[in-house]
Amino acid sequence: MENRIRVVVADDQNISRGFFELYVRAALRYQLLAGLRTAREAVAYVDGHETDLLILDVMMQDGVDGLTAAGEIKRKHPEIKIILTTSSSETSWEEKARKIGVESFWYKEYDEHSLIELMDRTMNGESVYPGDTPKVPFGNVTRADLTERELDVLRELTGGLMNEEIAERLSISPNTVKRHIQNIMEKTGYDSRLDLAMNAKALGLVVSEEDRKGKRSE
């Protein structure tokens, strides 16, 4: 009992959190210390409780997202291993997670590995990240059929920005932004930039920084 790996789960979605808690409780190797609703609670909890593994969702609703919380925890408690999870297919978060020292990254809907497998490999010293881009259907194509620059433009488009604002953010010209949007529409079959933005957001295909950090109201 005393040798079991101590696990904290933080996810603001009741179903996901309950799923994580169930898996941890069912595994003899692990002990569930707490199931928390916010990243802010996770930061405070691990400050006061010895924790071996934190399973932390990226998107949170309390104003502190999982990436920000993971960075703070890693600075103060580098010994705690972290698995970041998400139901989105936003791949830009993987590089951010690597840079702050997060051990593993798991897509809830798209990963080929089971959660328990990922937990075991992480606690055995591996750093486990997806090998392939999630092939999420998007109109007539999949996410993997869009270029990185097209995804950059689409990410800003979901934030409701105009071409000039997107151009400034990405350090490209408004005409280049317009061309990328036209190319995406041709690939996907969507008729307008509004359709592109609404469907991309609904699918979790890309997520703007403002939405990840909870700085924009729905």
The domain boundary residue, chosen from 88, 123, 158: 123
Residue 35's domain comprises 5-123
Same domain assignment for residues 107 and 146: no
Q: What is the DSSP string of 116-132?
A: HHHHHHHHTT-----SS
Distance CA(208)–CA(185), nearest Å, equals 19
Distance CA(176)–CA(36), nearest Å, equals 44
In a domain, 217, yes or no: no
Any idea which of 49-58, 72-81, 90-99, 103-112 has the lowest mean pLDDT? 103-112
Q: What is the CATH number for 109? A: 3.40.50.2300
Distance CA(186)–CA(209), nearest Å, equals 26
* Domains held by the chain: number: 2
Q: Which residues face 106 on adjacent strands? A: 85
pLDDT digits (tens, 9 = 90+) for 168-211: 999 999 999 999 999 999 999 999 999 999 999 888 888 877 77
In a domain, 131, yes or no: no
Same domain assignment for residues 166 and 78: no
pLDDT digits (tens, 9 = 90+) for 121-152: 999 999 999 877 778 889 999 988 999 999 99
Q: What is the CATH number for 167? A: 1.10.10.10
> Could you tell me the pTM of the whole model?
0.80
Same domain assignment for residues 102 and 152: no
How are beta strands 137-138 and 141-142 bridged, if at all?
Answer: antiparallel
